A and B are shown apart, each in its own frame.
Chain A
Amino acid sequence: MQDTHTPMADTAPNLEDLLVAVGRGRDRLAFGTLFAHFAPRLKTYLRRLGCESGAAEELVQEVMLLVWRRAETYDPVQASASTWVFTIARNKRIDTLRREQRPEIDPNDPALVPEPDEAADRRLEARQSNDRLCAALKDLPPEQAELLRMAYFEDKPHSVISAEHGIPLGTVKSRLRLAMERLRRVLRDDA
């Protein structure tokens, strides 16, 4: 039982630790906690993308199954648990709802042009960046936050969002850019 007097954040293991525990030890208790956090959010995500309730639940099961199977490959240095689950859900819904592939680089590709060395050292811890991003998203001007949500939750490029919502393309672009500039500052400024 959760002690209701203790704030969750102080006692509960974070999502990244839970995901690592699933990857290393097939920890079902840890997976249960991850499921309780992500499954209802994934369902909302998929419903916003146009899935009806039953189909959304089926797809949530598929995504969480992939989380279970691929947990071994999760690297907490590279991404927060939420980011990692987001990319799995995004790719799965493109595959299932749109019947398209998701083209992505192969990080081990010998043809990949390498990153300059110093960039990697200045990177924030992934979990820390997730906390900062969540806080910064709440502080965005509402019109920027709303467009950002459309860009991530509507399966449409910004040009189509502009046309469908009757917002001039220039306005859509500048709002998204301003939002991203602000979020990038939060991520890159280690002060």
Chain B
Amino acid sequence: MSLPSHHPGDTLLIDYAGGGLCEGAALVVATHTAYCPGCRRMVGEMEAVGGALLDGIEPDETLSPDGLEALFARIDREEAGRPPRPPCQPAARPTAADAPRPLIPEPLRSYLGGGDLESRRWRFLQPGIRCIDLKAGPNVTTRLVRMKGGVAVPQHTHGDMELTVVLDGGFSDELGSFQPGDVAIGDPSIDHRPVSDPEGCLCLATTIGGLRLTGPIGRLFNRFMDF
């Protein structure tokens, strides 16, 4: 597989490394880094910046002086009550060859709870598009979305931010062509109409602040649509 060509970029990677992204957005970024050694390296560097910032932070002088003693007492209690640990048995890992296709990397794989994607309940969104809800909050949804080949999402813009990472197949919009591992970033300044590639598209999408249809007919349907 070729390496991704659409990346989250420095500022989103800093948000991820610093821990400021909500879980759904962090899941998209983390999944991208499984496909992208370059961004993985950058996250490592940004975590090193976090370490240096922690080193340079002004120490809090009000820390209670008996903290260390209390911690050792707790460690002693825990270790007294616990039988010696058996040596680690490395778990047999499934090899890439016998894993189900498409190959979903961690951390997303754990969110899907194992098993075949085909056997899951896919919810209808619009003709040719189905999804599995992974996480939903008051303002954020994280979904696995599957589009049949050549299907168009109606022209829309974004209430806040939408992060999408392609897992299989691909799609194109006004900003380019997105293939496995690529991240698409939608925000209120982006008004687009993504169309899936002929082989279809499987992607992970986190939407913050919802979507707004902007096409001439779509506008009428905004209030009825569950995006």
Q: Which residues of A line the B interface, CB within 8 A?
A: 28, 32, 35-36, 38-45, 47-48, 53, 56-57, 60-61, 64-65, 68, 79-87, 89-91, 93-94, 98, 100-106, 108-116, 119, 126, 129-130, 133-134, 137-138, 148-149, 151-160, 172-173, 176-177, 180-181, 183-184, 187
Contact = CB atoms under 8 A, between A and B. Distances in A.
B53 A152 contact: yes
Most central of B17, B40, B49 by chain A CB within 10 Å: B49
B67 A35 contact: yes
A115 B115 CA distance: 28
B19 A133 contact: no
A148 B49 contact: yes
Contacts of B50: 83, 86-87, 90, 152
Contacts of B108: 103
B48 A109 contact: no
B60 A157 contact: no
A180 B37 contact: no
B217 interface: no
30 contacts: A35-B67, A35-B71, A40-B60, A44-B58, A44-B59, A47-B60, A65-B75, A79-B44, A79-B47, A82-B52, A86-B54, A89-B54, A102-B19, A102-B23, A105-B34, A106-B106, A109-B106, A112-B105, A113-B1, A113-B35, A113-B181, A126-B48, A138-B56, A152-B17, A152-B50, A153-B18, A157-B21, A158-B15, A172-B11, A187-B48
Contacts of A104: 30, 106-107
Given A45-B57, A116-B37, A177 B10 contact: yes
Contacts of B54: 38, 41-42, 45, 82, 85-86, 89
Contact of B19 (A38, A112, A155, A176): A155
Given A109-B106, A116-B37, A154-B20, 15 more contacts: A43-B59, A60-B63, A65-B75, A79-B48, A90-B18, A105-B105, A108-B93, A111-B104, A148-B49, A157-B12, A158-B20, A180-B14, A183-B45, A184-B42, A184-B45
Nearest to B1: A113
**Leading 5 A-B pairs by shortest Cβ distance:** A83-B51, A40-B59, A82-B51, A133-B52, A115-B37
B27 interface: yes
B99 A110 contact: yes
Interface residues of B, number: 71
A176 B10 contact: yes
Interface in B98-147: 99, 103-109, 111
A39 B65 CA distance: 11
B219 interface: no
A114 B49 CA distance: 24
A170 B69 CA distance: 48
A133 B46 CA distance: 11
B53 A137 contact: yes
B157 interface: no
Contacts of B19: 90-91, 93-94, 102, 152, 155
Contact of A85 (B26, B51, B95): B51
Given A105-B30, A113-B36, A115-B37, A158 B14 contact: yes
B98 to A, nearest CB: 10
Contact of B63 (A57, A113, A158): A57
Contact of A109 (B14, B49, B57, B105): B105
A78 B216 CA distance: 54
B48 A80 contact: yes
Contacts of A94: 19
Contacts of B111: 103
Contacts of A159: 160-161
Contacts of B63: 39-40, 43, 57, 60
